Amino acid sequence: MEQTQFLRNLIIETPSSPGNFAKVATAIGQLEGDMGDIQTIKIGTLSTIRDISIQCRNEEHFLQIVDAVNDLDKNIIVRAVTDDVLQAHEGGKIHMKGRMEIRSLGDLQRVYTPGVANVCELIKKDPEQANYFTGISNTVAIVTDGTAILGLGNIGPVAGMPVMEGKAVLFDQFAGISGIPILLDTSDVDEVVNTVKNIYKGFGGILLEDIGSPHCFEIEARLKAELPIPVMHDDQHGTAVVTLASVISACKQAGVKIEDSVVGQIGLGAAGLAISRMLLAYGVKEVRGVDMDEAARTRLVKHGGTVVGSVEELMSTVDIVVATTGVAGLIKPEMVRKGQIILALSNPHAEIKPSDALKAGAAFAADGRQVNNILGFPGIFRGALSARAKEITYPMLIAAALAIVESTKPGDLVPHPLDPNVHENVASAVERVALQ
């Protein structure tokens, strides 16, 4: 699941002898820093300089890591702290660009006036021709009201724009789709629905993004019912697709039959409810859920699940556990039953650490670092747009999840998110089902 993280880069100089970088890595790991990209900037006779990307909880946590590295050895030196994240966002991450160059008067006449009038007249007579002679059929609106931005909460649509731009970049790179951010300065359900209905003709699909619960449920339901193009709330169904794939992979590795299992869902917000519905649609015999919010519990029952009274009760009665609460340490080791599969998906701090769950007897355990929506939404929309689907259905979403499983290497929970093959496989699977 997507959550906010504190990202910084350390420029570190170490002696050019074996074991020194291992000291740095150990110091970072002992403080629960998560190393990402490591680039060697310079290899010298006496020292080596590396650029190390680190994910932390917050600035205080990062400074603790810096101090720990500096305290290792007088010859191990933190040369600089950089912020590649902010640098990457300077000027924004997307740019609308024409697909044709205008180098002559003839080019201008074909692309614009007077030639373009012929195309307009053609589309006027047959609106379906817009699918061939405009970019509408390959364009998705990325719509947000800014009420549930990553793990930051309700920070407003403008503050959420970097996320929307990120989605647009991923659409382009992995699916060849033009994603256009739409920032709405309202969270009123009627206003959101009417606004999207008034602009939808310029798009082949609608991706609802970072819209909070509970109004996200009504917004999506109404738009799906009232628009003739695919609509999907990624925080619900994108998350649910990748989670279903993760559960299937975990069951394979643990030797558990998912169809005979009872699944427990801890947390019934947008993601939790969607995961529950996806599992039931796939064929899980029973999903039991727990949440403090009465309306959330009611929604689960409405969609075919059952409600239990506490996390302890749920943990004692289910075979597979999925947690999406955002509450670190919610699942205590003593709650774990021997042989359970546990996916504690809150990120960066899981409801229980996988190592603790395994030590307590779980057959399989993972956290949310790998369960990333990027594995789903680009291919799902690519398949839907290619098939000219009018909606995104559960059979299409299940096909996407199974394609993710089939693209997963042995021993992995899900594929690497940057593997282009998984996005092609998801798109093909969704398109096949949509065309049926």
Is the Cβ–Cβ distance between 191 and 249 less than 8 Å?
Answer: no
| pLDDT, tens digit (0-9, with 9 covering 90-100), for 288-315 | 999 999 999 999 999 999 999 999 999 9
Hey, what's the torsion of the CAs at 381, 386, 389, 390, to 10 degrees? 70
Looking at residue 76, what is its pLDDT? 93
- Is the pTM of the predicted complex or chain greater than 0.75? yes
What are the beta bridge partners of residue 341? 320, 364
- Domains along the chain? 6-89 (3.30.70.260), 96-134 (no CATH), 136-229 (3.40.50.10380), 239-436 (3.40.50.720)
Please compute, for residue 296, the number of CA atoms within 13 A of its CA located in the half-sphere on the CB side.
22
Looking at residue 57, what is its pLDDT? 85
- Give me 200's structure tokens: 């939808």
| pLDDT, tens digit (0-9, with 9 covering 90-100), for 103-138 | 999 989 999 999 899 999 999 999 999 999 999 999
Q: Is 112 a catalytic residue?
A: yes
Looking at residue 5, what is its pLDDT? 67
Q: Which of 112, 124, 132, 302 is flagged as catalytic?
A: 112
Amino acid in position 208? L
- Give me 81's structure tokens: 């702290």
Q: Is 132 a catalytic residue?
A: no
Q: What is the sign, positive or negative, of the torsion defined by CA atoms of 170, 173, 177, 181?
A: positive
Looking at residue 82, what is its pLDDT? 82
Q: Which of 167, 200, 224, 353 is flagged as catalytic?
A: 167
First to last CA, the chain: 31
Long-range pairs of 150-155 with CB within 8 A, sequence gap ≥ 24: 150/2, 150/3, 150/4, 150/210, 151/2, 151/3, 151/4, 151/326, 151/347, 152/4, 154/212
Cα–Cα dist 131/202, whole Å: 11
pLDDT along the chain (436 residues), means of 10: 70 91 93 90 89 89 92 90 79 87 91 92 95 95 94 91 96 97 98 98 97 95 98 96 97 92 96 96 95 95 96 96 93 96 88 95 91 94 97 98 96 93 97 96
